[in-house]
């Protein structure tokens, strides 16, 4: 899978480790920043990732910040983005099954790196259920 990834300084360490992990697993990963632990503004990187997913430059995305909320609210300003926050494996499964999240968002300051890997694995291997969930998703965009 061709994935985009982005974080602010709070998610930087996990982002770097996830890039190595996913690349070793054979995925192509495009890094939309940030590129150091220096304090930065999460919208700068979340918008870059959202644009890449919306344009089809990457198929799906992964985003991290301290709580996950900053990147999630930024990503979800984009009509083509369904960014879902997950901090446990059952939520990571449901965020694909029910919400068809095309960006997985994680709260780096509140989960272990081991958990982040588990969440990515679950989200990547779960299928969207469609049906009533598609009907609900069709009502999400602001016309
Ligand atoms: C950075 O300190 C923190 O505010 C940010 O990572 C994120 O949690 C914002 O929602």
Q: Is 78 annotated as catalytic?
A: no
* pLDDT attached to residue 70: 98
How does pLDDT run across 47-75, given as a tens digit for each residue? 999 999 999 999 999 999 999 999 999 99
Alpha helices in 8-126 (DSSP H): 12-24, 42-55, 69-75, 89-97, 113-125
* pLDDT attached to residue 100: 98
Instruction: Report the nearest atom of ligand 1 relative to the CA of 73.
Output: 10
Facing residues of 30 across strands?
4
Mean pLDDT, rounded, of the chain: 98
How does pLDDT run across 9-53, given as a tens digit for each residue? 999 999 999 999 999 999 999 999 999 999 999 999 999 999 999
pLDDT band at 138 (very low <50, low <70, confident <90, very high): very high
CA neighbor of 11 nearest in space, from 68, 91, 72, 83: 68
pLDDT of 143 > 90? The answer is: no
User: What six digits make up the tokens of 123?
Assistant: 């989200």
Hey, what's the torsion of the CAs at 2, 134, 97, 76, to 10 degrees?
60
Q: Whose CA is nearest to atom 3 of ligand 1?
A: 66
Expressed in angstroms and rounded, the spacing between residue 40 Cα and the centre of ligand 1 is 9
Give CA–CA dist 33/42, Å, rounded: 9
106: CB partners within 8 A, 6+ apart = 11, 14, 62, 63, 64, 68, 85, 86, 87, 116, 119
**33, 40, 68, 70, best to mutate for ligand 1 pocket (most atoms within 8 Å of CB):** 70
Looking at residues 80-94, what average pLDDT do you find? Answer: 98
């Amino acid at each position: 899978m061709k994935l985009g990834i982005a974080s602010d300084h709070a998610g930087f360490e996990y982002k770097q480790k996830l890039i190595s992990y996913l690349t070793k697993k054979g995925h192509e990963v495009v890094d939309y920043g940030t590129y150091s632990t220096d304090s930065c503004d999460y919208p700068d990187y979340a918008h870059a990732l959202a644009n890449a997913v919306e344009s089809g430059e990457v198929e799906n995305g992964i985003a991290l910040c301290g709580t996950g909320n900053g990147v999630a609210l930024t990503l979800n300003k984009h009509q083509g983005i369904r960014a879902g926050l997950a901090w446990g494996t059952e939520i990571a499964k449901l965020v694909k099954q029910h919400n068809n999240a095309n960006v997985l968002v994680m709260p780096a300051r509140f989960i272990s790196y081991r958990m982040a890997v588990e969440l990515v694995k679950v989200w990547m291997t779960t299928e969207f259920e469609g049906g009533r969930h598609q009907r609900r998703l069709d009502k999400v965009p602001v016309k």
